[in-house]
């Protein structure tokens, strides 16, 4: 697989006050592929993705250095931070729909709160995005209900639809299935595989077999360092680093 690079991360370092949480990470995220990020908890996976959309710097005392080039433009310099976050969407571990908005308003929340779209456009976008996450058939009669009234799996897909409504080029997911039941997890995995037709996906998972099932490339982090980054097949069949092998065979963390 030799897709072009969507996101080129160079010498990325991150700190929480004095704690060096991410150490000189270099990685090229390919366009329209799924990249899985794995590693024991506390190794810096969340910090890594939160540096990409510049959410890391919001934590008091946190800072980051290095570059993250989105199509050659550094998110840490060449772009307005709000634009960065619109172009690089994010989905969190715990589904977090806005409880004060209807299902339909949740999908278009990002556009509605700042944008200039007409009501009709917003309704069309909401329908389109609910369709692309496979929620439309399930909830098309409940569009007026609160976003918080759906099941956990539906909420998480709603959050993905909400991120997609901004037309992002990359979507970051931080353990999106860890709060879901197996059936919802399976649906979400199918969705992730489908998403790469449109955009790049970076997905953190603590579930090694999930990484093997859904990703094209896998990045293994350990103690803040990127130990190995390769095609998922290579990582799982011929890991180059003994740490990687120990982790994927479940012998630690």
Partner 1 sequence: MDILSRRGRERLIKYICLLLTVLAVVPLLWIIGEVVYNGVSAINLEFLTALPAPFGESGGGIGNAILGTLIINAMASLFGIPVGILTGMYLSEYDRTSRLGSAVRTVIESLSGVPSIIFGIFAYSLIVLTVRHYTAIAAAFALGLMMIPLIAKATEESMKIVSNDIREAAIALGVPKWVRTTKIVFSIAKGGILTGCLLAFARISGETAPLLFTSLFSFYWPIGIDQPMASLQVLIYNYAMSGFQNWVIKAWGASLLLVIIVVSINVIVRRFAKPKYKAGV
Ligand X SMILES: Nc1ncnc2c1ncn2[C@@H]1O[C@H](COP(=O)(O)OP(=O)(O)O)[C@@H](O)[C@H]1O
Closest CB to Mg ion among residues 104, 211: 211
What strands lie across the sheet with 5-16, from one edge to the other? Answer: 19-30, 5-16, 62-70, 73-74
CA distance 11 to 51: 12
Closest CB to Mg ion among residues 46, 53: 46
User: Which of partner 1, ligand X, Mg ion, none does 102 bind, CB closer than 5 to 8 A by kind?
Assistant: partner 1
* Nearest-approach distance from CB 99 to partner 1, in angstroms: 5
* Nearest-approach distance from CB 108 to Mg ion, in angstroms: 28
CA distance 238 to 245: 8
Pairing of strands 5-16, 62-70: antiparallel
210 in contact with Mg ion (CB under 5 A): no
* Nearest-approach distance from CB 251 to Mg ion, in angstroms: 21
Q: Which two tokens stand for residue 62?
A: 């946190």
Is-contact 33 44, C-beta < 8 A?
A: no
User: Which of Mg ion, partner 1, ligand X, none does 199 bind, CB closer than 5 to 8 A by kind?
Assistant: none
Instruction: Classify 235 in phi/psi space as left (phi over 0), alpha (psi -120 to 50) or beta.
Output: alpha
Single residue of 97, 153, 176, 224 touching partner 1 by CB under 8 A: 97
Closest CB to Mg ion among residues 150, 171: 171
163 in contact with partner 1 (CB under 8 A): yes
CA distances from 16 to 12, 65, 91, 225 (A): 14, 12, 22, 15
46 in contact with ligand X (CB under 6 A): yes
Closest CB to ligand X among residues 16, 92: 16
Decide: residue 109, CB within 10 A, 0-12 exposed, 13-18 middle, 19+ buried.
Answer: buried
* Nearest-approach distance from CB 81 to partner 1, in angstroms: 8
Q: Which two tokens stand for residue 58?
A: 């919001």
> DSSP 3-state assignment of 87?
helix
Stretch that binds partner 1, among 94-102, 197-205, 231-239, 244-252 (CB under 8 A): 94-102
Pairing of strands 62-70, 73-74: antiparallel
* Nearest-approach distance from CB 174 to Mg ion, in angstroms: 6
Q: Report the interface residues with Mg ion, using CB under 5 A.
A: 46
Q: Report the interface residues with partner 1, using CB under 8 A.
A: 53, 55, 58, 60, 82-86, 89-90, 92, 94, 96-102, 109-110, 113-114, 145-146, 148-149, 159, 162-163, 166
Q: Report the interface residues with ligand X, using CB under 6 A.
A: 16, 19, 21, 39, 41-47, 59
């Amino acid at each position: 697989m030799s897709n072009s690079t969507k996101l080129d991360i160079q010498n990325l370092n991150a700190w929480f006050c004095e704690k060096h949480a991410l150490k000189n990470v270099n990685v090229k995220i390919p366009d329209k592929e799924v990249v899985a990020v794995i590693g024991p908890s506390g190794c810096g996976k969340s910090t890594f993705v939160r540096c990409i959309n510049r959410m890391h710097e919001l934590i008091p005392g946190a800072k980051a250095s290095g570059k993250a080039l989105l199509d050659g433009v550094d998110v840490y310099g060449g772009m307005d931070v709000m634009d960065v976050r619109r172009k690089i969407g994010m989905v969190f571990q715990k589904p977090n729909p806005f409880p004060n908005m209807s299902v339909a308003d949740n999908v278009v929340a990002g556009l509605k709160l700042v944008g200039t779209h007409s009501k009709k456009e917003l309704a069309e976008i909401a329908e389109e995005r609910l369709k692309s996450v496979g929620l439309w058939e399930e909830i098309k009669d409940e569009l007026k209900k609160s976003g918080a009234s759906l099941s956990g799996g539906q909420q998480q897909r709603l959050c993905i639809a909400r991120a997609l409504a901004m037309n992002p080029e990359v979507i970051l997911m931080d353990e999106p299935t860890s709060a879901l039941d197996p059936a919802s997890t399976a649906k979400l995995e199918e969705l992730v595989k489908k998403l790469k037709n449109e955009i790049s996906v970076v997905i953190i998972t603590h579930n090694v077999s999930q990484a093997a099932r859904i990703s094209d490339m896998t990045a293994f982090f350990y103690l803040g360092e990127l130990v190995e980054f390769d095609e998922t097949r290579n990582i799982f069949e011929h890991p180059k680093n003994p740490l990687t092998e120990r982790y994927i065979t479940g012998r630690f963390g």
